[in-house]
Amino acid sequence: MTASPFDLAGKTALVTGANTGIGQAIAVALAEAGVDVAVAGRSEPTETLAAIQATGRKAVNIAADFGSIEPVGRVVDEALAGLGRLDILVNNAGIIRRADLLDFGEADWDAVIDTNLKTLFFLSQAAARHMASRGSGKIINIASLLTFQGGVRVPSYAAAKSGVGGVTKAMANELAPKGVQVNAIAPGYIATNNTAALQADETRNRQIMERIPAGRWGRPQDIAGAALFLASPASDYVTGHILAVDGGWLAR
Length of the chain: 252
The closest alpha carbon to 116, from 163, 57, 168, belongs to: 163
Q: Would you say 26 and 221 are in contact if contact means Cβ atoms under 8 Å apart?
A: no
- Kindly name the residue from 108, 121, 154, 157 that is annotated as catalytic: 157
For the question of residue 189 being annotated catalytic, the response is no
Q: Residue 45 in contact with residue 67, Cβ under 8 Å?
A: no
Alpha helices (H) in the chain, listed in sequence order: 21-32, 46-54, 72-83, 106-113, 119-134, 155-175, 196-200, 202-211, 220-231
CA distance 117 to 140: 13
Catalytic residues: 157
